[in-house]
Amino acid sequence: MESTAAGGDHLPEFGDLIYYEVTSRRRPGPANLFIVEPSAGPVRAVRLDHPTRTWTFDPWTVWGSLMDDFDKGEDRIRRVDRARAEELAHLFEAPLPNEAGLRRLMQDGAERAYRPDKPGDA
């Protein structure tokens, strides 16, 4: 089931992935891609790590950037669809995993990041 906001904008269903294009403060054009999975629990998000060209679980940077952009009214971050996200990933030379792969990255990252330390954990 799809929902729409007052202006006709698509609202994600709970659990849909949300893609954000990030533009640079220093130069025109895209700078990064954030992917967020809405959740009732801790934030789950990945971003592109440019040096390694890998997708990294990093909800702290993603959430902080989203809030900073909103608070400052910079409009450097905009929501995009999956097709645009794939274009950006191609531009960044970092293949975008399918949605199941992205969810797995987020699940694995969340399990490592949010679990309490246990004796014997490395």
Which residue, 49, 48, 45, 66, is CA-closest to 57? 45
Q: What is the dihedral of CA 25, 17, 59, 68, to 10 degrees?
A: 40
24, part of any domain: yes
Q: Is residue 67, in this structure, part of any structural domain at all? A: yes
In a domain? residue 37: yes
Q: Say if 4 falls within a structural domain.
A: no
* Domain carrying residue 89: 12-114
Is the whole-model pTM more than 0.75?
yes
CA 17 from chain centre, in angstroms, equals 8
Helix, strand, coil share (%) of the chain residues, nearest 5: 35, 25, 40
How many domains is the chain partitioned into structurally?
1
Q: Please answer whether residues 55 and 45 qualify as being in contact, where contact means their C-beta atoms are separated by less than 8 angstroms.
A: no
Please indicate, yes or no, if residue 51 is contained in any of the structural domains.
yes
Give the chain's largest Cα–Cα span: 53
User: Could you tell me if residue 3 is inside a domain?
Assistant: no
Query: CA-to-CA distance for 17 and 60, rounded, in angstroms?
Result: 17
Q: Give every CB contact of residue 83 below 8 A, 6+ residues apart in sequence.
A: none
> What's the pLDDT tens digit per position in 21-68?
999 888 888 999 999 998 877 889 999 999 999 999 999 999 999 999
Helices (H), ranges, 18-91: 59-72, 82-91
* 80-108 per-position pLDDT tens digit: 999 999 999 999 999 999 999 999 999 99
Which pLDDT score, from 0 to 100, does residue 37 have?
93
Is the per-residue pLDDT at 3 higher than 80? no
- Return the pLDDT at 25: 82
**Domain annotation covers residue 6:** no
Structural domain includes residue 62:
yes
Q: How many angstroms separate the CA atoms of 88 and 23, rounded?
A: 11
- Going by pLDDT thresholds of 50, 70 and 90, the confidence category of residue 14 is low
